[in-house]
Structure 1
Amino acid sequence: MIDHTGLSVSDFDAAKRFYDAALAPIGAALVMMVPEEFTGGVKVAGYGPDRAVFWLSEGPAQTPPVHIAFHAPDRATVDRFYDAALAAGGTDNGPPGLRPHYHADYYGAFVRDPDGNNIEMVCHLPA
């Protein structure tokens, strides 16, 4: 349904460090930087497993902060995301665990990125 999405981030370098670490557990990495001559000098980065599907753009932070959930193939990946995201400067917004009020097999973790966006990694499979 959604082909790609992105965020405006107030500190591009801090956001890049955070997303480099937080998205690594799902095999997503920086796949391109748009040349600044095409962006008016603004830093723009695209992340994905093979093509850019999640974008960061240098600018004012999202107001209000947004919630973005990434799909994990298993619960261990959710755990790795949480640890990596916290180590990269994120703040806890809900440790890994079941969220049965959403769905019986909903296993997720929530971390605030450097701009306060609620970034989630979720797995919908049973243990």
Structure 2
Amino acid sequence: MFDHVKFGVGSYAASKAFFLKALEPLGVAVVSEGAPTYGVELVGPKSKASLCLYQTEEKPAHLHLAFAAESRQQVDAFYRAALAAGGKDNGAPGLRPHYHANYYAAFVIGPDGHNIEAVCHAPGA
């Protein structure tokens, strides 16, 4: 739905490492990178939208970023990878029927306190 989202982080190295590892199961990769104050651009397969991170001393507001997953297995893999990358649990993989019947998601808190989600809207197998 978006072209790109760019936000500042307190530790560029930690956030870059976290997002690369956490989003690897979703096929997200670096497409461009400059100095930390310019940042890094990450894009998923078959996507025109990108996520951009850059180093800042400002205290950014907390964000909720939801990444589309093609399967529930990708949501599970995102959750495991995000925790292994240093994320903190904010909701284990599972159905969230209060959103809709097939809303399968997992939530973690990233290095800067942002709520990071992977979600699959497809019915289970």
TM over 0.5: yes
Residues in 2 aligned to 1:61 and 1:21: alpha-carbon distance in whole angstroms: 24
Q: Given that residues 3 and 49 in structure 2 are in contact (C-alpha distance below 8 angstroms), is that contact kept between their aligned partners in structure 1?
A: no
Question: Could you state the TM-score of these two structures normalised by the residue count of structure 1?
Answer: 0.89
Counterpart check, 1:55 vs 2:52: yes
Aligned counterparts of 1:52 and 1:115: Cα–Cα separation in 2: 22
- How many residue pairs match? The answer is 121
Aligned residues of 2:5 and 2:52 also touching (Cα < 8 A)? yes
CA RMSD of aligned residues (A): 1.5
Alignment-mate amino acid for residue 111 of structure 2: P
Partner of 1:112: 109
The aligned counterpart of 1:26 is 26
Matched-pair contact (CA < 8 Å) for 1:71–1:122:
yes
Tell me how far apart the structure 1 counterparts of residues 26 and 6 of structure 2 sit (CA, whole Å): 17
Counterpart check, 1:75 vs 2:91: no
> Hey, which bits of structure 1, 4+ residues long, moved more than 2 A?
49-52
